[in-house]
Amino acid sequence: MASKIFQQLWQWRLYAIPFLAVTLALVVKLLLTPLIVHESPFLVFFAAVLFSSYFGPRGSGLIATLFAALIADYFFLFPVNSLFIYELGQGIRLMLFILEGWTICLAIAALKSAKSEVELSRIKVFRQRKELQQMNAVLEQRVAERTQQLSTINALLNQKVAESEQTQSALRQSQERLHLALEASGDGIWDWDITSGNVYLSPHWLTMLGYDPEDLPGDVSIWENLMHPEDKIWVLEVLKAHLQDSSFPYSFSYRLKAKWGHWKWIDNYGKVVARDLQGQPLRMVGIHRDINEKKLAEEALLVNEAKLRSFYESNQNSPIGIIEVIDSEILTQSVNKSVIQFLRKRIQQALAESEARYRGIIEDQSELICRFQPDGTLIFVNDAYCNYFNKQPDELMGRVYSPLVPPEDQILIAQKLATLTPDNPTVICENRVILPSGEIRWVRWLNRAFFDSTGNLLVLQSVGSDITERKQAEFQMAESLHEKEVLLKEVHHRVKNNLQVICSLLNLQARSLKNPTMTRHLQEAQNRVRSMAMVHEKLYQSDSLSKIDLQSYLKDLVKYLFRAYVHMPSQIVSKIEIESDIWLDIDTAVPCGLIIQELVSNALKYAFHPSESGEVVLSAKAIAGGQIVMSVRDNGQGLPVGALQAEPETLGLRLVYDLTDQIQGKLEIDSSTGTCFTITFPVGEGNRELGIHV
């Protein structure tokens, strides 16, 4: 109830304050009248007008002036106790009082308005300062949070780098062990980059054929030229089938031409280890093993056995004797039987010796050797085979070998053995075997089939060697390579994110600055960091972790720069003329991106007047001599006369000159029509997949 009364009184203050002030002035006037006789009747009321104008709302002073004029007229002007005025002087004094009162009211109102505006301005400044302090606190908090995040990310990145170094160290140790194993085995390694046709041939690969590294350039056509004409057709067919389907085995024995002109038998095994998203093969690796001596020994044994068997069979029922002119039939017959018996013993002895030599050679071999019938029944095993499976010969002879092989590998073996023909009697198979202890190991088998004259399969012979360590090394290398690729992608992703955080911090700092020059410098720094971040973004998004597509990278960079600098896209347009299949590594892509960023941003900022339209053209192409030509040109107002000979004063142009020197390039500037910057820098000769290290 009291609050309502107060609100009503507050609403009536426009009239209450003048009424109270004038009433108080009247009381003071009446009290002072006996003491001051000649005092002006309006002097005390001026105080009431001042009080009402200053402390009352707008209009209170005017009301106080009118009310004081009525009071003064009624109580103090002649005639007293009347509102009428009979003297002109009295009326003029009353009018002057009213005018002076209104003037005082207006002056005080103007003073109060000015004071109010000053107060409002001070309040506004105080609020803005407080808001600025709050924004500064928020920004500092965000910077602290970002700094903490960067510290955390940096720690994680250091951890990843440490893990990467450990992985690389383990990979180097694994590669060293594999290298030692290959050195000990005498096998040669080949590594074929299918897309470029380049082939890496290890020193052992070359020396087993008598070649030096400079004798054979690393090209797949050289390998094809070394193949025996009889082997070339079917080897290329096997290669074609394996490139289309990796499940088709790429293992066989064939002949290659040695440096001194004769042919050597080589065991070859390979596999496609990398394919693109469309399934096309990218890389293939494998090994060579010299089996020439073994092959010659096998062939010599087979020929010797065949000759002895043929000699024995052809003379078993033929008459053998010595023709003598002796007229005694009994003596001739006796000599004939002795010769037959003697020769038969010699033949049996030769066959026994041949078989003993053959069996001795077979038994002395460290490889696993066995013979089996087409249904898989073993008919011969050497000591190495028995020792490997911890079996006695009688436990293996006459039994099928399938229990020694996992079921899933038996299908692969059957498929490979089914490819044997009289024209292609050998095939290599790598499969797992089960030892009596339950351990599973890998064995590489060279299988050879023997056919009769009608082409029917008689018997198969297999020579095997344990390759478990090599297989484990291959699996470990493949796993390590995959982990390394994942780690490199993560590193590029982390670097791109960190650079993006730096861009965001520069953007926040630029927004908080009131100096346009500092803001522009921070935006240019932000664009430079963004151009570097896009390189890492392209790297971790691509299949290759070391090279990026120049066309895709520069297109995205130009789009970003146009969004940043061009406010009316229809006024200034871009034109991209970049050849495809130009690839740059990170050491070259970062300087090229910074150069293009500076030249395109300068063209967008300075080449055109605000109301003009124009075009910015970016081009890049490969030319003869292993060079790349990259240019940025516009049709704007061009550079001033003498600017081409002057030293660059701006940071952007100094960066362009320095970065051009860094990539060993040459910079040319033409300002005859607009401005054209042309940079020519070297790359690998004849190679469209570029990747230089400057």
Residue-wise pLDDT for 95-140, tens only, equals 888 888 888 888 888 888 888 888 888 888 888 888 888 888 888 8
* pLDDT for the residue 320: 45
Q: Which of 408, 434, 467 is the last residue of a domain?
A: 467
Res. 153: pLDDT tops 80: yes
* pLDDT for the residue 79: 74
Res. 171: pLDDT tops 90: no
Looking at per-residue confidence, does 472 or 79 come out higher? 472
Whether 399 and 391 have beta carbons less than 8 Å apart is answered as: no
Cis ω for the linkage preceding 682 (within 30 of 0): no
Q: Which of 436, 467, 498 is the last residue of a domain?
A: 467
State the pLDDT confidence band at 516, using cuts at 50, 70 and 90: confident
Q: Are residues 312 and 455 in the same domain?
A: yes
**Which pair of structure tokens corresponds to residue 530?**
């963004």
State the pLDDT confidence band at 29, using cuts at 50, 70 and 90: confident
Res. 334: pLDDT tops 60: no
Q: Could you give the angle at the alpha carbon of 470 between the alpha carbons of 464 and 474, nearest 5°?
A: 135
Q: Are residues 435 and 313 in the same domain?
A: yes
User: Is the Cα dihedral 358, 361, 363, 368 positive or negative?
Assistant: negative
Q: Are residues 335 and 410 in the same domain?
A: yes
Looking at per-residue confidence, does 131 or 86 come out higher? 131
SS3 145: helix
* pLDDT for the residue 116: 82
* pLDDT for the residue 424: 92
Report residue 343 CA to chain centroid gap: 80
CATH code of residue 457: 3.30.450.20
State the pLDDT confidence band at 536, using cuts at 50, 70 and 90: low
Q: Are residues 358 and 439 in the same domain?
A: yes
Measured CA to CA, the distance from residue 94 to residue 69 in angstroms comes to 7
Nearest to 447 by CA among 468, 470, 431: 431
* pLDDT for the residue 441: 92
The CB-side HSE value for 424 (13 A sphere, CA atoms) comes to 17
Residues with Cβ within 8 Å of 250's Cβ and at least 6 positions away in sequence, in order, are 238, 239, 242, 268, 269, 270, 271, 286
Residue count (the chain): 694
Whether 598 and 677 have beta carbons less than 8 Å apart is answered as: no
Output phi, psi for 613, to 5 deg.
-105, 160
Q: Are residues 380 and 308 in the same domain?
A: yes
Q: Are residues 305 and 284 in the same domain?
A: no
Q: Specify whether the backbone of 479 is left (phi greater than 0), alpha (psi in -120 to 50) or beta.
A: alpha
Please report whether residue 519 resides in a domain.
no
Q: Are residues 317 and 441 in the same domain?
A: yes
* pLDDT for the residue 316: 47
Q: Which of 138, 159, 194 is the last residue of a domain?
A: 138
pTM over 0.95: no
* pLDDT for the residue 36: 56
What's the domain range around 643? 546-694
* pLDDT for the residue 262: 84
Measured CA to CA, the distance from residue 205 to residue 211 in angstroms comes to 9
Overall number of domains in the chain: 4
* pLDDT for the residue 2: 56
Measured CA to CA, the distance from residue 498 to residue 502 in angstroms comes to 6
Q: Give the 3-state secondary structure of 401-426.
A: CHHHCCHHHHHHHHHHHCCCCCCCCE
Res. 669: pLDDT tops 80: yes
Q: Are residues 311 and 285 in the same domain?
A: no
| pLDDT tens track for 620-641 | 998 888 889 999 999 888 766 5
User: Is the Cα dihedral 558, 564, 565, 569 positive or negative?
Assistant: positive
Nearest to 253 by CA among 413, 449, 402: 449
Q: State which H helix or E strand residue 668 sits in.
A: strand 666-670
Residues with Cβ within 8 Å of 357's Cβ and at least 6 positions away in sequence, in order, are 301
Mean pLDDT of the chain: 77
Q: Are residues 557 and 575 in the same domain?
A: yes
Q: Are residues 645 and 688 in the same domain?
A: yes
**Which pair of structure tokens corresponds to residue 419?**
């490819």
CB atoms within 10 A of CB 591: 23
Nearest to 231 by CA among 252, 248, 213, 217: 252
Strand ranges, E, within 162-241: 188-193, 198-201
**Which pair of structure tokens corresponds to residue 540?**
């971790």
Res. 478: pLDDT tops 80: no
Measured CA to CA, the distance from residue 178 to residue 470 in angstroms comes to 7
Place of tokens 């194993």: 181
